[in-house]
Structure formats: structure tokens, C-alpha cells
A and B are shown apart, each in its own frame.
Chain A
Amino acid sequence: MSAVPGWILRDGLVAVVKRECPTCRTVAPALAQIRAAGRELLVVSQDDSAFPEGMATRFDADLEASHRLGIEVVPTLLERRDGETRRAAIGWNREEWQELSGVSDLAPGLPAARPGCGALNLEEPHASRLAGLDAPAPSARAVPLGDQEDPIEACFARGWSDGLPVVPPTPERVRRMLAGVSRPADELVAVVPPDYAPATVEKVAINAVMAGCLPEHLPVVLACVEAACSEEFNWHGLAATTYFSGPVVVVNGPIRRQLGMSWGINALGQGNRANLTIGRALQLTLRNVGGARPGGVDRATLGNPGKLSFCFAENEEDSPWEPLAASRGVAAGRSAVTLFAGEGPRGVVDQLSREPESLARSLSMALRTVAHPKLPLAFDAMVVISPEHGRVFRAAGWTRQRLEQRLHELLLVPAAELVRGAGGCAEGVPASRVVDLESTIPKFRPDGLLLVHAGGAAGLFSAIIGGWINGAGGSQPVTREIA
């Protein structure tokens, strides 16, 4: 611990008290007795310079002395020798106080012992401020604001916002955010395209503060940033594309409950802090650190609202299947995020199918139209199956694999329908690439469909989240465990 202020006795007794504490008020006579017996005694008052009355005290106005002495309870009586605390009496205990002070018959009117109160230096806002005294200095550049500058406006003016107000990232807020993880603040999380700038834990924490996250959200955000900056996810391409897509996050595992995430009613919509701020923190980090901005590297023609934040939890509780992350190799009981390069969700209505085959056909008819009905293989898709639809598959015993397989089969499209010019439409597959017009071409590549279970209990609807291009130049979905 750093040095105590110079006015704390190197040798002698130090008593720390506060007026607000009833026990401190009742032991004031004992302090007077100790002084009267000729002992060297410094009385330190935490909350009132005039307490205790009638004796010389020092007022620890900034509570730094209390903090440095490690005071947790008042009254505390310390025996100091050569600048070190040798012994301490916590609360009022006659035997201990007499032992430390060498004075007998202390405060005869008091009981033998009485507990004290919590020290003022442990209360907020003091505790956070005092913790900051010992915290390592931030590595990120400090940006001083003008005297008249509103901190929220200042963030807009410096280009740090996604268009909505952000929480100004003060060193104090960033420090509290960093307490949400045990990783060192300067640990490298990822190198972020397109600028290939390093994102440390601290950098992500700054953006998490701006997004409105709580410290407990930070581990999820870190996993998202790692996943997004992986080779396979190809954030560089996704950030720059003219296409609609942005990073979509699906969260699995116990962390969903711990953070109070939403996977039920309105799961893909607004309202849940964890969902919204985690999704936002990822995107603020990617764009602030990586440098991709609309009109700059981000060339999206239309984009989609999910580029603000698109993060939801899977409904594992009454899912027909194992969690998405489990189907992608994460062990049971572990929390993980899956990142998918997705556009906005599109609704699929089916209020009449009670058999899995019929419902699979509805879904496949809708899936045919991802990107364009005549464009196969280049795009992936995520299907969000709601509970009422999931029930149909569960009742029939259809596993995730079975449904995926059936969808792929139903989405074998006649090549004749796909060629350019077919149906009077110029778009499609070049005739030169179709070996046999009688053949079929799969709409999706073998790993191109991800099934997720989410949504409220009522509603015979599911959703399709179309992907971006896959393959060598595109993006693969990436799953990362949360540390």
C-alpha cells in the first residue's frame, strides 16, 4: 500500500472515528482518558472536523489517510511504531483498547465490547475515487475537453458515436468497467481491420462504457471482438461491403441468465440492456478502433438497423434442440457467442402447419428468396425458430440435423429456374456454369444454414436473417467461448 500522509503518527496511537457512528460517540470519553494519561494519541475524524467535541482532532477530509491505513471499521484504534501499524483494535473492546493504550479502567460506563460501523472510506462515491488513487494510469490517450464542452456533445464532435448519444468514457467509468474482468487492461484482444489498430482490454472497455454496458457485460464483449476479428469472420470485408450485413451475435450458456439477457418476447427487438449494449459495444469497438465509417471504408448501399446493435440470446430452456454453440462444438454448460454476418430479420408466417414436413416446406419457400431467388450457394442464412414453431419439430422428434438436412433437400432448385434470363429475369447463374439444365443446384452450401431457437411463447412466426457472402472472400460464422 502506498505511503500514509505525513501527518499520521509514526509512533503512538491513532484512533479513526466518525460522528455518524453511535459507537464512536460513546467511546469519546475513552479517548479523552488515554490522552489524559499522557499517551501520544492522534484522533482522526472521517466526517466532522469538530468531532469528538472538546479534543484536538485531525479531519481526514479526502479520506486518503483512512484509505492508506486500511480502515474498514470505525472506531479503530491503531498502535503505530516506526511508521508501521503493529496492532489494531477493531470496534470498541475494553480489553484490547487497554492493552494497546496501556491505560486501565477505560470508559467504565460502557459494556465490555461494542461493534463499530462501516468506515466512511468504504462508502461510495469515496471507495471508487480512492481505488483510483492506486489504479495504474490508463494507456489510452487522454482527451481533455473544453471548459464549456458538454461531454456527450464532445463525443459526437470527435466522431466516436454511432449516431446515438454515448456514455462519455471518463477514466473513472473505464476503471469500473475493467473491474468486470480479471484480464490485464493492456492485454491485446484483437487487431482490428481495416486500420489494423490494436484493441486492448482497455480499448474495448472504453467502448463498452460508451455503449452503456455494465462491468459484467465486458467478458461477453471481449469474446465478440475476438470472434469478429478472426480470419474466418473477415471483418475487413464485412466492414467495407456494399451489402446490408453487419455482425449479429447469438449468446449461449449460463451467462444469459447471469446477465439477464432476453431470449423470449421481442428477443430481436429493443428493451433489454444486456442484449442492446453488448451488441452496441462490439460495433462501437470495431468501428472506433478499426476505423470503418459510413462513407469512408463502410460503403453499404443501404445497411440495416442491426448495424447499431444486433445481439440476442438463444432460448435454450424449451428448445427442440441442443444450443447453437453446442452444435458447433462448445461443451455443455459453457457460455459462448456465435457471430454471423447478417442483414435485418425477415418474418415467416405459418399458422397452419402442425407437421414438421409442412413447416419445413414453408421455411424453405421463404429461404429460397435469401438475397435473390435465383442466386444459389453464395449466401448463408440463420433461421430463428420461435417456440410455437419449435414445438412442431420437438413433438415429431426432429433433431437439428434432420431439419437442416430436410431444408437442404427442399432447397435443391432446378438449374433451369436459376439461369440468367429464366423467368424473364436477367439475374441468376450464368448458363456457362450450368452443366446440365435438368439438374438441381442447392440454394445453400452444406454448412450454410444456422438454426437458432428464440422468441416469445405466442406467435406462429419464425425469422430468417440472411447472411453475407461466404467462401474465400466472404465471412464464416465464428463461435467463441466466453472466458
Chain B
Amino acid sequence: MTTILLDPSGELQPPSREPLPRLSRLAGATIGLLDISKPRGDVFLDRLQELLESRGARVERFRKPTFAKNAPPDVRREIAERCDAVLEALAD
């Protein structure tokens, strides 16, 4: 049986963060592609878009102004509202 302990803290932080459940299939899902503004990141994402669409996914494109900072809150909110999952292009 799972051991339960009662939280002694002020409970202002979550005790641990669970990742959201993973997608089980691509067909019918809306996948966001986030361009982090690195050179030729868009080329890479264009190719990903082709592959995802060929597997039945819908693709939405997003872009953050600079790779050096976190995506602005409104970009994050849009992605969360419109997509089931998101891909970020990270490295050069």
C-alpha cells in the first residue's frame, strides 16, 4: 500500500510536479511548433511540419522573439490553449 505522509509545510509550493500524460497518437492532434529564433530554425520546423501533417496531425506555428529569454507569457498561453503538444527547436 502506498505510504502517505501529511505535509508539514505551508503548502505554498506543490510537493512534486507530475508531467502531463503523453499523446498516444498523432492523427487528429494539434501540434505546436515553436521557433526559438535561431538561424535556419524555420527550415528545420518546415520539414517537421511536413512530416507531422503526413501523419494526420494539424500543425500550428509559433515564434518567440529571441532565443536568449523565456517565451513571453502570451505566447505560452496561446500554445497551451490551441495545442495538444508542442515541439521546440533548441540547438543550432
Q: Which residues of A contact B (CB under 8 A)?
A: 138, 140-145, 147, 149, 151, 154-155, 158-160, 168-171, 174, 192, 195, 197-198, 202-203, 206-207, 210, 284-285, 288-291
Contact = CB atoms under 8 A, between A and B. Distances in A.
A168 B5 contact: yes
Nearest to B6: A140
B24 interface: no
A159 B15 CA distance: 10
Contacts of A149: 3
A147 B4 CA distance: 11
Contacts of B6: 138, 140-143, 169-171, 174, 202, 206
A192 B10 contact: yes
Contact of B12 (A155, A160, A174, A197): A197
Interface in B22-73: none
B9 A151 contact: no
Given A141-B15, A158-B15, A206 B2 contact: no
A348 B59 CA distance: 78
Contacts of A290: 10
| Max chain A Cβ within 10 angstroms of own Cβ: one of B7, B8, B9, B15 | B8
Contacts of A168: 3, 5
Given A144-B3, A198-B10, A284-B8, 19 more contacts: A140-B8, A140-B11, A142-B5, A142-B7, A143-B4, A143-B6, A145-B5, A151-B5, A154-B5, A155-B5, A160-B8, A160-B9, A170-B6, A171-B6, A195-B10, A197-B10, A197-B11, A210-B8, A291-B9
Contacts of B3: 144-145, 149, 151, 154, 168, 170
Nearest to B3: A145
Contacts of B10: 192, 195, 197-198, 288-291
A178 B33 CA distance: 53
Contacts of B4: 142-145, 170-171
Contacts of A138: 6
A364 to B, nearest CB: 43
Given A144-B2, A145-B2, A206 B12 contact: no
Nearest to A175: B6
Nearest to A154: B5
B74 to A, nearest CB: 29
B8 A203 contact: yes
A236 to B, nearest CB: 14
B15 A143 contact: yes
A285 B7 CA distance: 11
Given A141-B15, A143-B15, A158-B15, A289 B5 contact: no
| Max chain B Cβ within 10 angstroms of own Cβ: one of A141, A170, A285 | A141
Contacts of B11: 140-141, 197
A210 B6 CA distance: 10
A151 B9 CA distance: 16
A155 B4 CA distance: 12
A155 B5 CA distance: 9
B8 A207 contact: yes
A168 B11 CA distance: 17
Contacts of A158: 15
A143 B7 contact: yes
Nearest to B14: A141
A128 B4 CA distance: 17
A145 B4 CA distance: 6
Nearest to A141: B7
B9 A289 contact: yes
Contacts of A142: 4-7
A203 B9 CA distance: 8
